Amino acid sequence: MDIPNLVKMANQIGQFFAAWPDGDAARQEIAGHLQRFWDPRMRTALRDHLASAEAHGLAPLVAAAVRDLSS
């Protein structure tokens, strides 16, 4: 997987929802979007990237949403 591209796309989704006044709802919507529209391999790659020692680039709100993903 192209991790820099996944990070970029996830952050773009996060930018959209970051404007929401309720941060918890925004986080849930980001996680929901990733769950509904991203291939499981993409979600796994992003989750693995976040867990790795070299993880960087994800906006804090997006990183929290990725941690919420169930699969």
Question: Is 1's pLDDT higher than 90?
Answer: no
Single out the residue of 44, 56, 48 nearest to residue 11, CA to CA: 56
Tell me the average pLDDT of the chain: 93
Q: pLDDT band at residue 2, thresholds of 50, 70 and 90?
A: very high
Q: Sort residue 32 into left (φ over 0), alpha (ψ -120 to 50) or beta.
A: alpha
The span from the CA of 62 to the CA of 71, in Å, is 16
pTM of this structure? 0.90
